[in-house]
Every structure is written in C-alpha cells, then in structure tokens.
Structure 1
Amino acid sequence: MRQMRNGWTREMKRNLKIMVSRAGGLLLGVGSMMLATGCGGGSAAAKPEEAPKLVTVVPVVQRQFEDRVEVSGAIEARNTALVTPRLPGVIEELYVEEGDPVKAGETRLFAIDRVKLEKAVEVARQGLAVARLSRLERQANLERAQAVLDKARIDYERRKRLFEEEQIGTKDEVEQLESAFIQAQAGVKHAQALVDLAEEQERQAEANLAIAEKDLQDAVVAAPIDGVVSQRFQDVGDMGQPGRPVLRIDDLQELEASAFLPARHYDRVQPGKTRMEIRIEGRLVGAFPVSYKSPTIDPALRVFEVKCRVPAGQAVPGQLAEVRLVLDRREGLGVPREALTRLEDRQGVYTVQDGVARLIAVEAGAENDGWVEVRSEALRPGVPVITEGRFLVSDGARVEVRSQGS
C-alpha cells in the first residue's frame, strides 16, 4: 500500500511540472504578441489619405435657348362636308365610292326616292293643266256674262227713254228690263269672281309644280365642295333623313394641324408670328405660322385650340402630329442635363477648382436638346462642370479629371 501511494505521488508531481511548463510557454507567446502590437500601434492608428475621385467635366457654354411647348395634335382637312339628304326617303342610288374625287355642284352623290318624286312632278303638271283649262272656261263665261250685261243695258236704257219721252210702252215693261239689267250685272260679277278663283288655283298649281320639280331636283344630291369621298355612312336601301349624314367629303388640297395648349400660354401665342413645328412619325413636315387661335379658353379643361396651315401632299387628314411651339428665344449659359444636381430644395453644379470640387447653386431655366439653361453669377462660359462622377463627390472633395467632354 505504501509503495502504491508513493508511485501515485511521483506521477502527480511529474504531470504538474509538464502543465506548468506549457502554461509558461503560452503566457510567453501572449506577452510577445502584446509587445508586438504595442510597438506597432502608432502606424495602425494613422488614417490613410483618400484617393481623388475620377470625374468627367464639360465646359459651360453660351447658347440659344427656347421656351417650347410640345403637345400632340392632329391633321385635319380645312374644308369638310357631311352630306345629308334634303328630304326624307329611301336611298335608291349611290353614285360614288370612298376615295372617289368629286367636283362641287357637278358630281352626283346619291338619289332619294327619285321614281316617287318623278310621279309627283307629273301629277303636279296635270293639276296645272286642269287649273289652266278651268281658268279659260271661266274667262269665256265671263265674256258671255259681259255680253248679256251689255244687251240688257241697251234694252233697258232704250225702253226707259221711250217710256219717259214718248210714252211708248208700259212701266211694267221698263221695270222688267231694269230687273234683267241688274241680274246681268250680278252675273258678270259672279263670272269675274270665278275667273279670279281659277287664276288663283292656276297660280297654286304652278307653285305645286315648282315644289315637285325642286323636290325631284333635291332627290339627286350633288357634291357641295371639291374634294374626296372619305367616308360612307349609309347604303342603298337605307332610310335617308335630313341631318343624318350619308357621305363625308374632305378637301385634301387645304390641310391644317390642330392642337390644344394649356391656358397659361394663351397670351404668348400670337397668330401670324408664333410658329408651329409639325412632325409626323418623326418626319419634319415644317414650321408654319399660327393661322388660328381660339377666342376662348375651355373652362372645364383649361385649354385652347391653335391651328396652322399644312401644305397639300405633306400629310393626310386623321394623322397624329407632334406639335412644337416656340414661345420665346434668348441667349444664356448652358450646362448638360447630367451636370445638374438637386440638393433638397435647391439645384447646383459641381465645378473643379485646383483639383477640388466646388458646389455652385444655380437657377435652372429652359431645357433644350439635353442642355439646361442656368443662371448664376459664379459661372461664365468655359468653366468646367462635372457630368460623370458627380454622385461620388461632395463640396470640397479632391477630384481628378479623367476626361473633358464638349
């Protein structure tokens, strides 16, 4: 037992020595690291100098700026006509198709109930003939009554004179002849009244014939203007009504562009002076003076209409147009759109002075073709402003100009 206890004691002492030796080595290593760190602490705490930011600059330029309004518009025919029947009836014939050219007053377009109206004319002519014969008959009766009156007057006056001067005949005979004379006068008046009535009936028959002939003439509708048939709204067999269009005609020789502008520009648009630049599908048609400005502003939409003439052959009615109006031109300082920086409630540009970025506040104006009009007492033509890299810099930051644009 004692030997065993002595063996354990020697073994424990040997293990304890090994543990103390290892712990000492570990402490020595940690101490060495701390010494190394302490010695190098001064160089690690020093902050390295930041490299300049690479930027691209473009010089400020003096150029012309325009106050422009760009809107969408439409091409229209200056002269158009919606052709409607002049009287109700069935459309019996259509003489034209869409796309056909027409001549004002010459080209027939369509016919309404022509057969019916031709019969009405024939009936009116017969009525006039009957009225004319009736008048002739009654005029003959008037002449006959006038002859009877003349005979009765002569007989009465002769018998009366003989009775009064020579006492020939009786008073009763004189009174009978007087009565016949009075009846003859009444007969003439009656015959004259019938003649007057017949003449009035004849005039009425003539008017009826004129109306029937006018209706027949109106049954065939001719083109009211020169142009081209652009639309057909009804076909043969449809019921035509006055006010309901059958065809549309557009004069392709006189075109105009129409557009609506915001009300705030009303006073700046001057007919004859302000020009409208017209583009169709990217193609420049031309710039033409305003030929029309609406005398009023739409109170609901707050817009007003402007128009300009467009040369024939350059466009087609119904095409959409890109319309640009130049309301003012002036010289000013300009910078590329990419140079403008917005900071909260202000705008500015970064310039480069001795390798340092400087923020200059500006007042921005018109923007034309990628250039923005700017106003600032600190800017002048030729001053470089940062375009690429402006989001990487701040006021006072060191920069290096990588390239210079134009």
Structure 2
Amino acid sequence: MMSFKLRSPWIAAGAAASFLLVALAVKFSGDPKTQTAGTKGIPVSVSQARVMEFNDDFSTQGSIRALRYASVTPKVDGTILEIYVREGDRVKRGDPLFKSDNVRQEEALKMAQRDLEAASFATEERQEALIRAKADLERVELDYQRFAELLKEGAISQSMFDDVFTRYRQARAMVRSAESMLSSARSSLRKAQAALGIEEKNYRDTTVYAPMDGMVSKRMAEPGEMGRPGVPVLRIDDPSSLEVQAFLPAELYPKVWTGKTSITLEDPSGLYREELTVTTKAPVVDPVTRTFEVRCRTQGSPYKVPGAMARLTVHISSRKSTGVPSKGVVQKEAGPAVYVISGDTAIEVPVATALRSNGWTEITSGDVKEGMVVAVDGASMLSNRSKVKIVRRIP
C-alpha cells in the first residue's frame, strides 16, 4: 500500500505533461501561411475583388438547316413506277430522280401527233386551193380588162361584158374564201402544235429531274404509291451552304441587331466552335410563343449537317466592371451583400449585382473596390463584424 501512494503523484505529473505537449502540438501544427493571429474566428477562404470583363450572354439551342433546298413533287398524277435515288445520294442538276406511270400521257401524245398531221395536211390543201384561186383570178382579170377595152370601142355588147365581169367578181370571191380557209387551217395548225407541245411536256414530266445540286436528305414515297403534284416524294438539301435557326425571348428583341450581334455556335460534343453574325431577324415577335426568330449563315462540314442541333450563345453586350466570386455574394433580407475582410474582422457591405461570368458576379453599386479582400467560402456563416480566420486565399 505504501509503494502505491508514493507512485501516484509521479503518474499524475506525467499525465499532465503529456496533455500539455499535445495542446502545444495542436496549437502550432498546420501550414503557417494559413494561420492568423486570431485562432477563434470563423474559418473562411478569401479572394480579392477585381476589375474584369463581364459578358451579357444568352444561351439556347438552335437547329442547323440547309440554306437552299427543294421539295421535289410529281408534275402529273400517276403511280410512281421507279425511284432512282436513295437517302444520302448526291445528285447533280438534271439527274433523273423518279418516274411516274406514263401510259395515259403516251396515248395523249400519239393523239396530238395525229391531230398535228391532219392539221398540217389541211393547211397544205388550203394553200394549194388559194394558189389555184389566185391563178383563176389572174386569168379572169385579164379577160375583164380586155373586154372592158372592147366595150369602150363598141366591139362587144354590154351583155357579153357583164358575163365576164360576173366571172371576175366570182374569182375574187373565191380568192377571199380560199384566204379565209387557209387562215382557219393555219390557226388549227397552231393549236395542234401547241397541243402537241403540251402533251410532249406532260410525257416528259412523268420523269422528274433534280432541280439543283445537292444531297437527297429524305425519301417520302416508294414505287407503287400514287403520286400527285404538290405532294413531295424527295427532299434535296445543299449541304455546303447552311444556316442556324434559333428562337429568342421577346425581351431580347431590342438588343439583337442584324449584321452586328454575334453568336457562338458550338457542337454539343465539342467537335467544332464558330463565331457567327446574325444575318436575319424576324420583323415581329410571335404573339403566341413570345419569341422571335434569328438566323445565321455558316458553311457545311462533315460535322455540320442539316437537321442537327447546336448550342448557341448570343452575345448581347460586354463591359468591364468590378467583380467578386459568386460564392462570396450572400443574400440577406435587405438584399445581396459581401463581406470585406479587414484584419480578422468581416465587414458586411450591401451591394447591387448584375451579370455573372465564369463564377464571378458583377458589382454595380456598393463600397467594394478593386483589390479589397472579400470572404468566399464560409461567407454565408458570417454577420457584420464577425471574427474570421483565413484558411485559404483564392487567386
């Protein structure tokens, strides 16, 4: 029992010394750069307010479409017999695309050809009849002139002259009649020629040809189906000349200008990025959707094809202002505020904010100047004149 009592004070003294060493180790441990004189403040990370460029941007999605395209339809009614192209095929202007049933057009063409032959034959007959009538008139006219001289000389009687004069008048009437009939025949010939031209066109129209260079982007019918004018069978796009289409909210209408406003076009997969300029702006805002259309022209590429979606950033404006990290802006009952660090004290500064860019917020009013140290991480835990401990400085 005596030995236990003598040993106990030494054990207590050793325990006290160990506790003191641990406390000192905790106090002086850590990176000296992250320690401050105050060790009881709220831990925060800080950064400096800086003057930087803020962009007033609007992000949306748009679609890429061909600037030039054609919806190809049959020109005549009829069953589609053959389609010579498939989706993805390249075509040149004038290449045959598809053919419709042409039996009816072929019969109509043959009939028009026969009508033209008949009209041509009738015209030739009328021309020959006119030639004969004119020859008769010339012969009778000579007799008429000769008998008129004889009548003046008293060599013939009046009745003989009257007979010749009657034949002369009849010959003139025959010429006029032949001329009229020839004119009618020629008119019929012209009508027959026009009718033949129409039937030839109808026959040719049973085969439809490419109206432009491009690529067959869509096939909307198959052989055996009924084709009608105005109902598309194929769509051809020119993939070399494209435009980007987007619909923007009405509040941006006065801020977007044709030929001035720039738009960044990006592929969602990051395959391309391109700066474009608005080339077309709708003259009105759609009253139903409260949006307006804008378009930008661009060039085609293996990654940019009609029908694809694209990510768009509309650049409305840009300006330089004082900014702070967005995490350092705290929403208070009276409005947004930031905490400016002075020594080991956080001073609450009410501010007004505007644009955001890359994790920074623009300060448009409030006593925040370039170079001031503001709280970032941990700012939401502060109140005016809170004691702080800086644990990290953000560049």
The TM-score normalised by the length of structure 1 is 0.80
Is the CA contact 2:56–2:355 (under 8 Å) kept in the aligned structure 1? yes
CA distance in 1, matches of 2:387, 2:148: 148
CA distance in 2, matches of 1:132, 1:86: 30
SS at match of 1:398: strand
**2:86 equivalent in structure 1:** 97
Is the CA contact 2:267–2:310 (under 8 Å) kept in the aligned structure 1? yes
1:280-295 counterparts in 2 under 5 A?
Answer: 280-283=267-270, 284-295=272-283
**1:134 equivalent in structure 2:** 122
Change in Cα spacing, 1:157 to 1:256, as seen in structure 2 (3 Å) is: closer
Question: CA offsets per residue over residues 316-352 of structure 1, 9 Å max, x none?
Answer: 2111111102222222222222111111241101222
CA distance in 1, matches of 2:364, 2:357: 15
**2:168 equivalent in structure 1:** 181
Is the CA contact 1:280–1:319 (under 8 Å) kept in the aligned structure 2? no
Find 2:224's aligned residue among 237, 240, 259. Answer: 237
**2:287 equivalent in structure 1:** 299
- How far did residue 138 of structure 1 move? 1.4
1:63-82 counterparts in 2 under 5 A?
Answer: 63-82=52-71
Find 1:351's aligned residue among 319, 327, 340. Answer: 340
CA distance in 2, matches of 1:240, 1:151: 64
CA distance in 2, matches of 1:156, 1:397: 138
Find 1:124's aligned residue among 102, 108, 112. Answer: 112
Equivalent AA in structure 1 for residue 273 of structure 2: V
Is the CA contact 2:40–2:389 (under 8 Å) kept in the aligned structure 1? no
SS at match of 2:288: coil
- How far did residue 253 of structure 1 move? 0.6
CA distance in 2, matches of 1:80, 1:103: 13
- How far did residue 212 of structure 1 move? 1.8
**1:249 equivalent in structure 2:** 236
**2:258 equivalent in structure 1:** 271
Is the CA contact 1:67–1:329 (under 8 Å) kept in the aligned structure 2? yes
Equivalent AA in structure 1 for residue 98 of structure 2: F
Which has the larger displacement, 354-363 or 388-397? 388-397
CA distance in 2, matches of 1:312, 1:180: 84
CA distance in 2, matches of 1:236, 1:147: 63
Find 1:198's aligned residue among 169, 172, 185. Answer: 185
- How far did residue 74 of structure 1 move? 0.8
Which has the larger displacement, 342-351 or 66-75? 342-351
- Identical aligned residues as a percent: 35
CA distance in 1, matches of 2:321, 2:155: 130
- How far did residue 163 of structure 1 move? 5.1
CA distance in 1, matches of 2:155, 2:392: 150
CA distance in 2, matches of 1:163, 1:334: 126
**2:20 equivalent in structure 1:** none
Question: CA offsets per residue over residues 354-390 of structure 1, 9 Å max, x none?
Answer: 3222211111111111111113452223322222222
- How far did residue 189 of structure 1 move? 1.8
**1:25 equivalent in structure 2:** none
- How far did residue 157 of structure 1 move? 4.5
**2:47 equivalent in structure 1:** 58
What is the aligned length? 355
Question: CA offsets per residue over residues 208-264 of structure 1, 9 Å max, x none?
Answer: 122222223333222122110001112223332222211111111112211122232
SS at match of 1:388: coil
Q: What RMSD over aligned residues (CA atoms) do the two structures have, in Å?
A: 2.3
Is the CA contact 1:57–1:386 (under 8 Å) kept in the aligned structure 2? yes
**2:96 equivalent in structure 1:** 108
Change in Cα spacing, 1:163 to 1:403, as seen in structure 2 (3 Å) is: closer
Question: CA offsets per residue over residues 37-91 of structure 1, 9 Å max, x none?
Answer: xxxxxxxxxxxxx953222222222221111111111111111111122333332
Equivalent AA in structure 1 for residue 323 of structure 2: G
Equivalent AA in structure 2 for residue 125 of structure 1: Q
CA distance in 1, matches of 2:386, 2:320: 32
Equivalent AA in structure 1 for residue 304 of structure 2: A
- How far did residue 137 of structure 1 move? 0.9
SS at match of 1:200: helix
SS at match of 2:386: coil
CA distance in 1, matches of 2:83, 2:91: 13
Mapped pair 1:369 → 2:358:
yes
**1:387 equivalent in structure 2:** 376
Is the CA contact 2:86–2:216 (under 8 Å) kept in the aligned structure 1? yes
CA distance in 2, matches of 1:347, 1:377: 10
- How far did residue 308 of structure 1 move? 1.9
Change in Cα spacing, 1:271 to 1:164, as seen in structure 2 (3 Å) is: closer
Equivalent AA in structure 2 for residue 290 of structure 1: V
**1:320 equivalent in structure 2:** 309
Which has the larger displacement, 263-272 or 89-98? 263-272
Mapped pair 1:378 → 2:367:
yes
Is the CA contact 1:59–1:381 (under 8 Å) kept in the aligned structure 2? yes
Which runs of 5 or more residues in structure 2 are unaligned? 1-38
CA distance in 1, matches of 2:174, 2:44: 123
SS at match of 2:125: helix
CA distance in 2, matches of 1:403, 1:57: 6
Equivalent AA in structure 2 for residue 327 of structure 1: I
Equivalent AA in structure 1 for residue 252 of structure 2: H
Find 2:215's aligned residue among 225, 228, 235. Answer: 228
Which runs of 5 or more residues in structure 1 are unaligned? 1-49
